[in-house]
Structure 1
Amino acid sequence: MRFIQGQDRTQTHLFPISLDQSIARDNEVRLIDLFVDSLDLNDFGFKVDFDENGRPAYRPSDLLKLYIYGYLNRTRSSRGLEKECKRNIEVMWLLKCLSPDHNTISNFRRDNPKAIKKVFRKTVQLAKYFNLIGGKLLAGDSTKLRAQNSKKNNFNQKKIDRHLAYIENKLSEYEKALAESDGDKKKIIEEEISKQTDRKKEYQNIESQIKQTGQPQISTSDPDSRQMITRNNITEVAYNVQTTVDSDNNIPIDYKVTNANDSKAMGNMLQRAKSILRSNQFTALYDKGYHTGSEFAVADRLGIETIVAIPRVAAQAPNPQYNVENFKYNKEEDYYTCPQNQQLKSNGRWHQARTYQFKRYTTKACGNCEVKDQCSKAACGKAIQRSEHQDLIEINKQRVNQNQSYYKRRQAIVEHPYGTIKRQWGFNHIMTKKGMARASADVGLIMTAYNLRRLINTIGLKTLIKWALQQLSYFLELIVLLELKGTQIRTSILFPNKRIFNFYVCLKPLYLRLN
């Protein structure tokens, strides 16, 4: 039987293939190269640490190219990227055979969270250029990404009390055993007592940190991470990543890494979206976790229309006919009317809740009401709390009822990036440790890679590469023609990007020879 034969590994070639010839013209690695070279990284604030008298540093552009390539190809670890530099021909072409070690690679991500955020913003601008962002309908949500911190190394006061109580019981048992033992057994017990005493001091130190910081919990491996409910009743020590996604092509326009729940997140994300789009003429969709009166007030102040799912009311009447939503409110005279046609009034006093103020409405008629047992379980009868933001909550309720089909699009819009990032790519955890800033750098690279992948899938790789090359060649031709005509060129205007200027200087002689 005949088989296809490979080439002889020891055979030399008269006309060897260059590294550039081994990479196809429509390879996405060329787009990564063009994209990064189009950025003025000096203005982005990338940090480069090196000794002036020592070994030169790697260019930020080279390390950024490496990271974008790695995240697009599901390789995030610095050691994995270090390995790719030595065996992956695409990476060799991209970095011109540079091979930074894993510490250099890791430190670049660690030290540049803000600069990486600016790179992500450039992908949003590129999507805007190709009209992929409509800016009329946005959806917001969050996803939990597991932190590099186990549940075992996450503590709250309740957990510490449980551990300390266990240690105290153990010490008590060892003290009794010590009094009755001698010889080698006594030495073993003393070692156990010393061990438990050291553990007790560790928990007491963590307890003092909780009291000093005022935080409800402490994580020892990644201090900014928090134990959160990820789904149903399952908890993980994680970060909560807020995202805002445009509906036209499911492209994220913003992200923010937090360690808090969703209840206070909507207002800030809307403000950021308004700044990014430079407009407030859009509708934002959110789920019931964002249903907070103070956040509706922020949206109203910004002039942004929101549609937020309505959560179930925790305090339900024994008979649903007497739930609060069936009580009619008279805004002019400030009272409620119950289904039994009795008026519930307030004394006008504002009560302070945790994050808002409310008035309390009651009526003495509850004492003699025939349906009191169906209306309220309280001995004093029905009491209604009306938030200072209740008017805005009612307006949101009307929008939800009038736009049921509109709201149903929320999940399809905002869950698309999560499905790709967490399910297809397997990026369901944070790679970095020791702080939210480092976690933000990891998420920034994830979002940058996602947007570039979305652009490639939507527009096409060949179109993007062709466009980038046309932009550079058109710019080059314009400058050369101006110079041939004797026009004085101010490089500060025509070359705000130093990389484009360097590109022009290198290719100008070639252009003149060809023309």
Structure 2
Amino acid sequence: MSYIQGFNRKQAVLIPETIEQLIAENNPVRFIDAFVNSQDVVALGFKDIRFNKNGRPPFHPKDLLKLYIYGYLNKIRSSRALEKECIRNVELMWLIKGLVPDHNTISNFRRDNPKSIKKVFRATVNIAKNLDLIGGVLLAGDGTKLRAQNSKKNNYNQKKIDRHIAYIETKLAQYCNALETADGDKKKVIETKIAKQNKHKKQYQAIEKQLKQTGEKQFSSSDPEARQLVIRGVVTEVCYNVQSTVDHKHKIPIDYDLTNNNDKHAMTSMVENAIEIVGNNTFDAVFDKGYYTAEQIHKSQKTWKLTTHVLCSITLLLMLPDKAYKLVKFIYNKAQDTYCCPAGETLKTNGNWYNKRVYRVKQYKTKNCKLCPVKNDCTKAKYQRIIERHEFAEALDINKNNISKNPEIYAQRQAIVEHPFGTMKRQWGFDHIMTKKTKERASADVGFIFIAYNLKRIMNSIGIDRLIKHIILFWLEIGIKKRLNKLLKSFEHLKKLTVYFIENASPKSTTKQIAYF
């Protein structure tokens, strides 16, 4: 039986193939090359733009950017792994023209340019907008947790520190008691253990001092800005929270942000950025129950006039004898600023605002409550039922009506915003942060993940050939506009100069100056 045979490694080749011939016309590396070449790295703020006068010249930022984008698109994030690929990967040899930067250079590029990487991500969003891949009609926001380079063991809070110090104090007391009766070698062993425990105690006290000075509730020794957050239920992990806003049309993320907090106070900044990126405030904003904060919903509606669809985190039920008299059964009259209870009584307010733990509230009540025949079914209070309405209640009512009137809009949330997270974390395995020490460095890693996702999504939607043509035409247009602007500026300058000479010249020489210009 015969098999397909490969070429003879020792056979001389008269006309060898070039690397250009080994890369197909529709290979994704050609799009990466065109995309990065179209970027103005000086405007984006990348470091090491110009060559040094002395010593070896640095690598161009475009080459390192191409290397990283290729790596993330092919599930390679390690700087050492990328260094190896530069030697053995034909596609990378073509892409960065045979350059082999060492792993420190590769790693430092990602570490030093988090803001510029964010701008490259914005460039991918602009391409999607120019190709009409972003609808700007329905946007969904959500967050996902990515594990940091910091174990739970190296994450501390005051409660954990107190527990450790209490344990050390107990051990020290035991060792001191044993030391009184010990002698010889045994005494030396105990003294060594006491010194070890005192050393640990000083370390915990130093961490405690740092917590008090900074006012932070947690401290992580490996990655200082990482925090222990709830992943699901009661499961926690030391991680970062990645916030993302995704357009519904092609599931393309238009914005991302890295935080070390939960979702509760992230909505307004996400909405504000989305309005700037999309260019309108007429879209529907969809968020899950983690973002249900009255003040955030109020600001989104009043400041930016958005239609919000934020799922209520809990149904606010009072401990009532009968569910027929729960709060939602009390009808609010906006014109008269009163409530009508299920028994038909009108609850009024004195108009005063009372400061509660989070918001200000008005109180609504009626004297007839004492004599009401269903009082015992309505409340367990001794005298009367009091309804409290906080200052952002109207915004929550509007949000509730939006969801009840258009339930199909909120039903799309999961398919829109969790689609990119599923691809990144499950298919690509990007469920953790590669870098450590500061949130800024971690954001560079996340930025490359989102750049890779957007480029992959755009390539799958449009096709590589069309994309390359689009980039070439787009930047030709930009170049023509720049040249026209330069000509217009030159013309304006010439015009001002002519006027100046006419106004300041003597009558005899004016004619000559005009003729000269």
Q: TM-score, normalised by structure 2?
A: 0.88
Whole-angstrom distance in 2 between the partners of 1:430 and 1:333 = 55
Whole-angstrom distance in 2 between the partners of 1:475 and 1:336 = 61
Of 404, 417, 420, the match for 1:414: 417
Q: Name 2:512's counterpart in structure 1.
A: none
Any gaps of 5 or more consecutive residues in structure 2?
489-517
1:423 aligns with 2:426: yes
Q: Name 2:200's counterpart in structure 1.
A: 199
1:388 aligns with 2:354: no
Change in Cα spacing, 1:461 to 1:353, as seen in structure 2 (3 Å) is farther
Q: Name 1:504's counterpart in structure 2.
A: none
Structure 1 segment 267-306 matched on structure 2, within 5 A: 267-300=268-301, 301-306=303-308
Using the TM superposition, give the Cα deviation of residue 86 of structure 1 relative to its aligned residue in structure 2, in angstroms.
1.1
Q: Name 1:462's counterpart in structure 2.
A: 465
Match of 2:14, as an amino acid?
L
Q: Name 2:514's counterpart in structure 1.
A: none
The two structures, once aligned, show a CA RMSD in angstroms of: 2.4
Cα-to-partner distance string for 1:430-454 (whole Å, 9 max, x where unaligned):
1111111111111111111000000
Whole-angstrom distance in 2 between the partners of 1:273 and 1:190 = 63
Match of 1:248, as an amino acid?
K
State the secondary structure of the residue aligned to 1:7: coil
Whole-angstrom distance in 2 between the partners of 1:52 and 1:376 = 82
Structure 1 segment 112-151 matched on structure 2, within 5 A: 112-151=113-152
1:190 aligns with 2:156: no
Structure 1 segment 312-323 matched on structure 2, within 5 A: 312-318=314-320, 319-323=322-326
Change in Cα spacing, 1:53 to 1:381, as seen in structure 2 (3 Å) is farther
1:220 aligns with 2:221: yes
Change in Cα spacing, 1:287 to 1:90, as seen in structure 2 (3 Å) is same
1:69 aligns with 2:70: yes
Change in Cα spacing, 1:200 to 1:315, as seen in structure 2 (3 Å) is farther
Whole-angstrom distance in 2 between the partners of 1:268 and 1:139 = 13
Q: Name 2:510's counterpart in structure 1.
A: none
Q: TM-score, normalised by structure 1?
A: 0.88
Match of 1:36, as an amino acid?
V
Q: Name 2:25's counterpart in structure 1.
A: 25
1:438 aligns with 2:441: yes
Match of 1:32, as an amino acid?
I
Q: Name 2:246's counterpart in structure 1.
A: 245
Contact 2:149 2:223 in 1 (8 A): yes
Contact 2:145 2:239 in 1 (8 A): yes
Whole-angstrom distance in 2 between the partners of 1:354 and 1:39 = 50
- For structure 1, which segment, 465-474 or 25-34, has the greater mean C-alpha deviation from structure 2 after superposition? 465-474
Using the TM superposition, give the Cα deviation of residue 420 of structure 1 relative to its aligned residue in structure 2, in angstroms.
0.7
Match of 2:62, as an amino acid?
S
Whole-angstrom distance in 1 between the partners of 2:187 and 2:345 = 78
Contact 2:38 2:475 in 1 (8 A): no
Whole-angstrom distance in 2 between the partners of 1:57 and 1:172 = 60
Cα-to-partner distance string for 1:463-504 (whole Å, 9 max, x where unaligned):
22344456678999x99xxxxxxxxx669579xxxxxxxxxx
Contact 2:124 2:451 in 1 (8 A): yes
Structure 1 segment 253-272 matched on structure 2, within 5 A: 253-272=254-273
Whole-angstrom distance in 2 between the partners of 1:491 and 1:54 = 38
Q: How many residues align?
A: 484
Q: Name 2:363's counterpart in structure 1.
A: 360
- For structure 1, which segment, 177-186 or 446-455, has the greater mean C-alpha deviation from structure 2 after superposition? 177-186
Match of 1:458, as an amino acid?
S
Whole-angstrom distance in 1 between the partners of 2:317 and 2:213 = 36
Contact 1:350 1:359 in 2 (8 A): yes
Whole-angstrom distance in 1 between the partners of 2:189 and 2:138 = 69
Any gaps of 5 or more consecutive residues in structure 1?
480-488, 495-515
Q: Name 1:503's counterpart in structure 2.
A: none
Contact 2:36 2:66 in 1 (8 A): yes
Change in Cα spacing, 1:196 to 1:132, as seen in structure 2 (3 Å) is same
Q: Name 2:3's counterpart in structure 1.
A: 3
State the secondary structure of the residue aligned to 1:21: helix
Change in Cα spacing, 1:166 to 1:474, as seen in structure 2 (3 Å) is closer
Change in Cα spacing, 1:86 to 1:407, as seen in structure 2 (3 Å) is same
Cα-to-partner distance string for 1:213-263 (whole Å, 9 max, x where unaligned):
111211111111111111222111111111111111000111111111111
Match of 2:428, as an amino acid?
W
Cα-to-partner distance string for 1:368-403 (whole Å, 9 max, x where unaligned):
666555444566664433210101110111111000
**Percent identity over paired residues:** 54
Change in Cα spacing, 1:30 to 1:187, as seen in structure 2 (3 Å) is same
Change in Cα spacing, 1:493 to 1:155, as seen in structure 2 (3 Å) is farther
Q: Name 1:351's counterpart in structure 2.
A: 354
State the secondary structure of the residue aligned to 1:306: strand
Whole-angstrom distance in 2 between the partners of 1:238 and 1:64 = 26
Using the TM superposition, give the Cα deviation of residue 299 of structure 1 relative to its aligned residue in structure 2, in angstroms.
0.9
Q: Name 1:310's counterpart in structure 2.
A: 312
For the pair shown, which has the larger CA radius of gyration, 1 or 2? Answer: 2
Using the TM superposition, give the Cα deviation of residue 43 of structure 1 relative to its aligned residue in structure 2, in angstroms.
0.3
Whole-angstrom distance in 2 between the partners of 1:359 and 1:176 = 63
Q: Name 1:510's counterpart in structure 2.
A: none
Contact 1:317 1:374 in 2 (8 A): no
Using the TM superposition, give the Cα deviation of residue 364 of structure 1 relative to its aligned residue in structure 2, in angstroms.
5.9
Whole-angstrom distance in 2 between the partners of 1:427 and 1:370 = 62
1:209 aligns with 2:210: yes
State the secondary structure of the residue aligned to 1:316: coil
Contact 1:119 1:448 in 2 (8 A): yes
Using the TM superposition, give the Cα deviation of residue 320 of structure 1 relative to its aligned residue in structure 2, in angstroms.
1.9
Structure 1 segment 11-160 matched on structure 2, within 5 A: 11-48=11-48, 52-160=53-161
Cα-to-partner distance string for 1:393-429 (whole Å, 9 max, x where unaligned):
1011111100011210111111110111111101111
Q: Name 1:173's counterpart in structure 2.
A: 174
Whole-angstrom distance in 2 between the partners of 1:229 and 1:250 = 26
Change in Cα spacing, 1:4 to 1:52, as seen in structure 2 (3 Å) is same
Contact 1:139 1:244 in 2 (8 A): yes
Contact 2:231 2:237 in 1 (8 A): yes
Using the TM superposition, give the Cα deviation of residue 275 of structure 1 relative to its aligned residue in structure 2, in angstroms.
0.8
Whole-angstrom distance in 1 between the partners of 2:478 and 2:391 = 58
Q: Name 2:401's counterpart in structure 1.
A: 398
Match of 1:160, as an amino acid?
I
Whole-angstrom distance in 2 between the partners of 1:349 and 1:491 = 61
- For structure 1, which segment, 11-20 or 465-474, has the greater mean C-alpha deviation from structure 2 after superposition? 465-474
Contact 1:48 1:57 in 2 (8 A): yes
- For structure 1, which segment, 366-375 or 329-338, has the greater mean C-alpha deviation from structure 2 after superposition? 366-375
Using the TM superposition, give the Cα deviation of residue 346 of structure 1 relative to its aligned residue in structure 2, in angstroms.
4.0
